[in-house]
Amino acid sequence: MAKLGDYFKTEDFKKEKHVPVIEGTSGVKSGVSFTVSVTVGKEIPHPNTTEHHIAWIKLYFMPDGGKFIYEIGSSVFSAHGESVDGPNKGPVYSNSIATFNLKLDAPGKLIAESYCNIHGLWESSVDIVF
């Protein structure tokens, strides 16, 4: 039986526009707040149109040696040019960028996930070392 994790795709973000890119993790110190941004379409822009868009981004933390993963937060993108006048005729298009401010008391791994309405689930991660 397949598990949810079996459906996540990964790739080098410089080759694939759907991969969530985690930035702001260099120089992280234990117990000190820092800001992380997660962007989908960092190197290759994602269309973010009514027909083809990123619906959400989520960020998690898995501490080294921990038993459970922690959801840090999520961002939902709801404006993709929709309008009563038809697709891509609306006045608002959202860009798939989410910012999180957090502090960590243990090293581990930040894991970002994103969902494209056409191309499914995507994931990337970055190690946090103090």
Mean pLDDT by 10 residues, the chain (130 residues): 87 84 96 98 93 98 98 97 96 97 98 97 97
Q: Is 18 a catalytic residue?
A: yes
**For the whole prediction, is pTM greater than 0.85?**
yes
What gap in Å lies between CA 50 and CA 52, rounded to an integer? 6
pLDDT for the residue 15: 81
Does 53 map to a domain?
yes
Does 54 map to a domain?
yes
Does 18 map to a domain?
no
Does 113 map to a domain?
yes
Q: The domain containing residue 111 runs over which residues?
A: 48-130
pLDDT for the residue 29: 97
pLDDT for the residue 128: 98
CB atoms within 10 A of CB 100: 20
Does 4 map to a domain?
no
The CATH number of the domain holding residue 128 is 2.60.40.730
What single-letter amino acid sits at 102?
L
Q: Is 80 a catalytic residue?
A: no
Does 55 map to a domain?
yes
Q: Is 52 a catalytic residue?
A: yes
Among residues 42, 46, 53, 80, which one is catalytic?
Answer: 46
Q: Domain count of the chain? A: 1
Please state, in angstroms and as integers, the Cα–Cα distance from residue 25 to each residue in 86, 89, 126, following that order: 41, 38, 8
Taking a C-beta distance cutoff of 8 angstroms, is the pair 120, 7 a contact? yes
